Amino acid sequence: EGRIAAGSAIPVAFHVISDKKGVGDVPAAWLDAQIEILNRCYAGRDYDGNPVAGAANTGYTFYKASVDRSRNPGWHKMLPGSSREYHAKLRLGVDPKTTLNIYTAGPGYGLLGWATPPEWLASLEVWHGVVIHWASLPGGPFTYYNLGATAVHEVGHWLGLAHTFEG
């Protein structure tokens, strides 16, 4: 409620967070490829743009509205619910009521990403957005996990989808 309308064009603000050596400072082409994958998958297509039988076109489209880059080793290693995540999102986030904020970082513990659900927006606005491991972007070095599916999955949570095992 009071948020992005169903089936609308969604501006994406990318926040590229690298460590002190620049690890995670991904090229713009990877971000563009991620937008393309989001648009294909949310239109009922596969990664290559082919129609998927039974898959719905959600009507959502995504476009890259902005990109900022930060070299911050603390934020780069953020974990869900941590003070590092809070401070990165507080400093970098663009209006979460109108914009999908995607933070690329290098979280530990084997995490590929996480998202805040829409019901958190009213009370926890600063936390809102999606965090993905930079190496999971299309073109990234995570073999088998570098097709852009992490962002597709987490954006689904951001839009309000739950895991099938969550009822």
| Predicted confidence (pLDDT) per residue in 31-41, tens digit | 999 999 999 99
Q: Is 154 an active-site residue?
A: yes
Q: What share of the chain in percent tops pLDDT 70?
A: 96
Question: How confident is residue 124, by pLDDT bands cut at 50, 70 and 90?
Answer: confident
| pLDDT of res. 29 | 98
Instruction: State what percent of residues in the chain have pLDDT above 90.
Output: 81
Span 137-149, average pLDDT: 97
pLDDT tops 60 at residue 28? yes
29 CB-contact burial (10 Å; exposed 0-12 / middle 13-18 / buried 19+): exposed
pLDDT digits (tens, 9 = 90+) for 61-112: 999 999 999 999 999 999 999 999 999 999 999 999 899 999 999 999 999 9
Q: Which of 1, 85, 119, 154 is catalytic?
A: 154
Angle between helices 149-158 and 28-41 (to 10 degrees): 60
**pTM attached to this predicted model:** 0.95
CA–CA separation, 143 and 128 (whole Å): 28
Pull the structure tokens for residue 21.
């050596």
* Cα distance between residue 84 and residue 113, in whole Å: 15
- The CA angle 13-19-20, to the nearest 5 degrees, is 125
Q: What is the pLDDT of residue 2?
A: 53
Looking at per-residue confidence, does 116 or 1 come out higher?
Answer: 116
Q: Which long-range contacts (CB under 8 A, 24 or more apart) does 137-146 make?
A: 137/26, 137/30, 137/31, 137/33, 137/34, 137/104, 138/30, 138/33, 138/34, 138/36, 138/37, 139/26, 139/27, 139/29, 139/30, 139/33, 140/26, 140/30, 142/112, 145/112
Does 1 have pLDDT greater than 70?
A: no
State the pLDDT confidence band at 117, using cuts at 50, 70 and 90: confident
Question: How crowded is residue 26: how many other Cβ atoms within 10 Å of its Cβ?
Answer: 20
